Amino acid sequence: MYEELALYIDGEFRQGSGGAGEDVINPATEEALAFLPHASKDDLDRALASAAEGFRVWRDTSAHDRGKVLWKAGELIRERADAIGRTLTLEEGKTLAEAVVEVKVAADIFQWYAEEGRRAYGRLIPSRLPGARQMVIREPVGPVAAFTPWNFPAVTPARKMAGALGAGCSCIIKPSEETPGTAVAMARALHEAGLPRGVLSVVFGVPSQVSEHLVPSPIIRKVTFTGSIPVGKHLTRLAADGMKRTTMELGGHAPVVVFDDVDVDKAATVAAGGKFRNAGQVCVSPTRFFVHEKVYGKFVKKFTEIASGMKLGNGLDEAVEMGPLANERRVAAIDEFVSDARGCGADVTTGGERVGNQGYFYSPTVLADVPDGARMMFEEPFGPVAPMQSWTDFDEVMEKANGLEFGLAAYAFTTSTERAARVSERLETGLVGVNHCAISFAETPFGGVKESGYGHEGGIEGLDAYLTSKFVTQMNA
């Protein structure tokens, strides 16, 4: 039922040479799903050597032929979406419906980069020197070290692998040890699609040990990470020593600005859908609700009704609308955020507690009148909590929305096109959703500003991240 776990190094699925590893835990039952092998230093060195060799082979493969492999892998992933989705739910907890959609989106990402890799065009620049021909050639940057977290076990590794491979780079990826099966399943699809050996390696271990071994290696030319801001800063510093390119997709704390002209029930329903997806463990999750005072009471009431009516349980159960949190750390963290907010005078209108004593379940939680001093208003909560405040003055609410170091996503709800334009211009984030929360697709750029990181994944920007420009000027001899 669950994926057979292995490392994938030099074109082979294998166990770790040192025998070390850890159990992968099902967050809905707290039972061990499987033993995950860790890569030893020798295994990592083998992955590095094969990434160097794989890069030479893949760089010299035509973009057309590279695209065929990625396209086929996307097809295999889509065909296996139900089985891989089940693995994803077992290891991460989200509902099976969400998991299967996520796997299909990952398939879409592989196929989009299969196509886009063929369009890494250079350009000709007219020369000021007679007889000279000036060319800009786009080349893959080199072997990539990629690190991904546990909240989107299919989409986040897919973005990094597909962008890197589509551009002609090789890639060593260390997916989260807490959700490894989905990435292993996608690596099997790439392997079966004919990916040459060494182009991709999948390794696991103690995260800091793996990154401290891979990032400084002279073989690695690019580092890409999705996860928390402190780890992102640490990896950026490591990469700086070797002047390596980096893409950092870090945390967010998305403001939601609701104007007084909305259809309140509709806006609350859409926003709640965005909030409780993956139990709020999403870097672009709506996390600070600023609702105009004229509609505040009605909005909080509707949002509370939706949250309190949600069916919580094991994501494999079809009737379930929200699964457990992905690990025990999140339950403890959310509990602390909620008790802190309560202590600051917030009104918990629904939820606010751990549910049951087996599995990491936490009730969908809505908090009204949360003061600015409550920790959840300035630290990323990363869980199923929706803190709300009312506002009256647009400039003041913009100051609050932009007042944190985060700058990933933001949302606004209004029926006025003039307000929609004004608020999206003013929000200091890399992504803005107006009247809906669907802000990420294979073909659209995804990335933050400020401490939420820099660089993009998705879209043409997500290919550009793995390309470098070479200028060649050629004079007639």
Residue 52: CB minimum distance to ligand NAD, A: 21
Q: Is 437 a catalytic residue?
A: no
Measured from the Cβ of residue 275, the count of other Cβ atoms closer than 10 Å reads 27
Interface with ligand NAD (CB under 6 A), residue from 176, 314, 350, 429: 176
Please tell me which residue in 91, 102, 116, 249 is annotated as part of the active site.
Answer: 249
Residue 147 interacting with ligand NAD (CB under 6 A):
yes
Interface with ligand NAD (CB under 6 A), residue from 55, 382, 391, 406: 382
Part of the chain binding ligand NAD (CB under 6 A), chosen from 74-82, 106-114, 230-238, 368-376: 230-238
Residue 151: CB minimum distance to ligand NAD, A: 5
Part of the chain binding ligand NAD (CB under 6 A), chosen from 42-50, 142-150, 272-280, 391-399: 142-150
Part of the chain binding ligand NAD (CB under 6 A), chosen from 147-155, 270-278, 313-321, 354-362: 147-155
Nearer to ligand NAD, 228 or 424 (CB): 228
Interface with ligand NAD (CB under 6 A), residue from 226, 304, 389, 429: 226
Interface with ligand NAD (CB under 6 A), residue from 88, 250, 272, 300: 250
Interface with ligand NAD (CB under 6 A), residue from 183, 283, 367, 374: 283
Residue 335 interacting with ligand NAD (CB under 6 A):
no
Q: What is the Cα 63 distance to its own chain's centre?
A: 26
Residue 231 interacting with ligand NAD (CB under 6 A):
yes
Please tell me which residue in 3, 53, 116, 283 is annotated as part of the active site.
Answer: 283
Q: Is 249 a catalytic residue?
A: yes
Residue 427 interacting with ligand NAD (CB under 6 A):
no
Residue 250: CB minimum distance to ligand NAD, A: 6
Interface with ligand NAD (CB under 6 A), residue from 112, 150, 362, 391: 150
Residue 227 interacting with ligand NAD (CB under 6 A):
yes
Write the interaction track for ligand NAD spanning residues 179-218; mark x where CB under 6 A is met and - where it is not: ----------------------------xx--x-------
Interface with ligand NAD (CB under 6 A), residue from 26, 89, 151, 246: 151
Nearer to ligand NAD, 250 or 338 (CB): 250
Size of the site for ligand NAD (CB under 6 A): 21
Are the CB atoms for 294 and 345 separated by under 8 Å?
no
- Residue ranges binding ligand NAD (CB under 6 A): 147, 149-151, 176, 207-208, 211, 226-228, 231, 234-235, 249-251, 283, 329, 380, 382
Tell me the catalytic residues.
Answer: 249, 283
